[in-house]
Structure 1
Amino acid sequence: MAPITATVYNAFTSPSAQGNPAAVIVLDSPDHQSAAVQDGQDFPCALFPPDAQLQSIGTQINLPMTAFVLPLPGGSCAEYAVRWFNATNEGPLCGHATLAMSGHLFNMVARPPPTFRYLTRFHGVISASQHQNPLGDGKLVGIEFPELTNLPPVPRGSETWAQLKSLFEEATSSRWQGPGEPLGVYKQDQFLLIEFSPELDLAGVQIEPQNLSSLKSYVYIFQISAQSSEQIHSRVLHSFPGHADEDIATGSAHRAIIPHALGNPETRARLEKYHPQHEGDALRVAQQSRKGGELVVQWLREDKSVRIMGRVDPVGAKTVEASEN
């Protein structure tokens, strides 16, 4: 058994938000004779350690996510390939761990480029840069993910609406009536987007994610904030059998939330009502988990992507045993 050390960061922190922990492991470069990985080719799984080894490391580290970052040969479509593993399985895309590894690379790489490009297994090439905060002073690390838009609405009164109502009323302390009834529900494949009224105390809603595991979905819950300090409040649930929990602070969910808040006419009207001075396509988000997270998210309409920005703070290191096989 060979020890391996991971660097741990908290992502999406602020003075009032602890952020979401993630581990970052930069793997050794592949053999110098390895061929460059071109855009459109299959993801180079063979250049990584075996899946069982990556999963074992992720399980031992036991954080919400561990990012495994692999330098790619020169001439490749990206500087790095990346895979994400939590304690139980591989994640297809992870915002907070990508923010953590980007902050790590910008600090550790000598003369870093303006932008790092990452080849992912399921979502092609994504990128990360340092940007001026569009809603404040200073710079933030920003990652760009493809937008998730046009989720079909669930008709109110439909069988699906009734099923969701029953599940959520069992899993939460809130009834789907009055301020507790969603203003809109949208569903496609494994993604469920729910908007609640600004009048609802979203942070105070008690949610048991395991009671929603039959949904087999990523559940993105949000409201237009009635507070002046941020425009959006969000909560994010992973609701799958054997893996049901609430995410502390996540970027990937907001590739659906922010385009909806800015692009849906009814939701945009609520935004303008509560934040009449707001301009542009960047919104400040307070994710209202137990530890809390703060994000600045900008919708890049022409690029059909979102830029997810936040602070990254170092925590320390964790050393685990990694099998040689």
Structure 2
Amino acid sequence: MAPITATVYNAFSSPSAQGNPAAVIVLDSPDEGAAVVQDGQDFPCALYPPDAQLQAISTQINLPMTAFVLPLPGGSCADYAVRWFNVTNEGPLCGHATLAMSEHLFNTVANPPPTFRYLTRFHGVISASQHQNPLGDGKLVGIEFPELTNIPAVPKGSETWEELRRLFEEATSSLWQGHGEPLGVYKQDQFLLIEFSPELDLAGVQMEPQKLSSLHSYAYIFQISAQPSEQIHSRVMHCFPGHADEDIATGSAHRAIIPHALGNPETRARLDKYHPQHEGDALRVAQQSPKGGELVVQWLREEKSVRIMGRVDSVGEKTVEASVN
């Protein structure tokens, strides 16, 4: 099999945070004469190598996520199609790998457009552009994901609440009492949103994601930060059998966290209490995983989307013995 070279980046990095590694592989353009992909059509899986090959490559690369970027014929609804694979399966949406591949394209494509549009398999068309940092100097690559709002609350004391309490108390060093009890729990389909008190040492909570695998959920855990340097602290757990771990730094979770922090009246009151000088719809986030990540996230209310921005550092290249022909 011919060797394949992937470019590796750390997304959402900073001087104090490693960020999240992702590999980027830009596939060859489809054969001349390939049909234009129109909006609303099924995702063009047939233009990609077989799934087994994509999975084999991702498994060998052995990073949290690999983005396979496919140029689309001119006149299509997007510039590229994108699929994301981790070491065990295909991911439906990935913020840090999208940020990495956008940084890669802006730096390698001759005369890049102001905005790249990506066709995804499960979430339609998303976009990436370079933006002035709303909370600092300079420009950052920003990706725009659809907002995730109106997740129903789990009533305290309900059967679901008590089951979550049991699982989390078994998986963490924190009991659901005092500052360790969630201020709010919200659940819909595979998404679980949990807000903790600003007084909890969220980074210090020891979590064993494997003990949460029965949730079959993405657990988005956050608090209003009591620190002046950032407004939000977050942690993200992938809680699935065979794939249970903590995400180093993730963008997609914040399409739920940031609209909730700004839109939920009780959470917004906590934000105003701890950050009375804050204005606007952009928040600085420090993800509290052991390696850490830093994000700037802006809620675009009228567009019903969330712009996720961050720094991306080039790491180098990684070669695997696998073919995508």
State how 1:100-115 maps to structure 2 within 5 Å: 100-115=100-115
Looking at structure 1, the residues matched to 299 and 60 of structure 2 have their Cα atoms a distance apart, in angstroms, of: 36
Deviations 1:250-291 (A, max 9, x none): 000000000000000000000000000000000000000010
Map of 1:44 onto structure 2: 44
Equivalent positions of 1:180-219 (< 5 A) are: 180-219=180-219
Equivalences for residues 84-95 of structure 1 within 5 A:
84-95=84-95
**Native 8 Å contact 2:54 2:324 kept in 1:** no
Aligned to 2:311: 311
Give the match for residue 133 of structure 1: 133
Give, in angstroms, the shift of residue 321 of structure 1.
1.3
What secondary structure sits across from 2:129 in the alignment? strand
Partner of 1:119: 119
Secondary structure in 2 matching 1:150 = coil
Q: Which runs of 5 or more structure 1 residues have no equivalent in the other structure?
A: none
- In structure 2, distance between residues paired with 1:324 and 1:63: 18
In structure 1, C-alpha distance between the alignment counterparts of 2:51 and 2:242, rounded to whole Å: 19
SS at match of 1:237: strand
TM-score by length of 2: 0.99
Mapped to 1, the partners of 2:261 and 2:38 lie a distance apart of 36
Structure 1 residue 56 displacement after superposition: 0.2
What's the counterpart of residue 98 of structure 2?
Answer: 98
Q: Supply the distance in 2 between the matched residues of 1:182 and 1:65 (Cα, whole angstroms).
A: 30
Query: Cα offset for 1:120?
Result: 0.2
- The amino acid that maps onto 2:188 is Q
Q: In structure 1, how many angstroms separate the alpha carbons of the residues matched to 2:61 and 2:33?
A: 32
Match of 1:151 in 2: 151
Query: Which amino acid counterpart does residue 24 of structure 1 have in structure 2?
Result: V
Q: Are residues 117 and 22 of structure 1, via their aligned partners in 2, closer, same or farther at CA, if it must alter by over 3 Å?
A: same
Once the two structures are TM-superposed, the CA of residue 28 in structure 1 deviates from its matched residue by 0.2
Which residue pairs with 1:246 in the alignment?
Answer: 246
Percent identical pairs in the alignment equals 89
Q: Which residue of 2 aligns with 1:26?
A: 26
Is 2:197 the counterpart of 1:227? no
Q: Secondary structure at the match of 1:193?
A: strand
Give the superposition deviation at 1:324: 6.0
Give the partner amino acid of 2:38: Q
Q: CA deviation at 1:323?
A: 3.7
Read off the aligned partner of 1:156 and give its amino acid letter: K
Residue type at the aligned position of 2:41 = Q
Aligned equivalents of 1:10, 1:32: Cα separation in 2: 34
SS of equivalent to 2:173: coil
* Alpha-carbon RMSD: 0.6
Alpha-carbon shift at residue 322 of structure 1 (Å): 1.5
Residue equivalent to 1:14: 14
Give the count of matched residue pairs: 325
Task: Give, as a single letter, the amino acid of the residue that structure 1 aligns with 2:303.
Answer: D
Q: Secondary structure at the match of 1:251?
A: coil
Q: Which ranges of structure 2 fall in alignment gaps of 5 or more residues? A: none
Cα deviation code 1:126-146 (max 9, x no counterpart): 000000000000000000000
Cα separation, 2, equivalents of 1:247 and 1:226: 22
Contact 2:29-2:70 at 8 Å conserved across structures: yes
Q: Distance in 1 between matches of 2:324 and 2:242?
A: 28
Q: Distance in 1 between matches of 2:89 and 2:70?
A: 19
Q: Secondary structure at the match of 1:262?
A: helix
Partner amino acid for 1:154? V
Q: How far did 1:105 drift?
A: 0.2
Following the alignment from structure 1 to structure 2, what is the Cα–Cα distance between the partners of residues 4 and 71?
17
Q: How far 1:190 sits from its partner (Å)?
A: 0.2
SS in 2 for 1:148: coil
| Amino acid paired to 1:250 | T
Asked if the contact 2:192/2:218 (under 8 Å) is kept, the reply is: yes
Tell me if structure 1 keeps the 8 A contact 2:4–2:323.
no
1:160-199 correspondence runs (5 A): 160-199=160-199
The secondary structure found in structure 2 opposite 1:267 is helix
Aligned equivalents of 2:12, 2:240: Cα separation in 1: 24
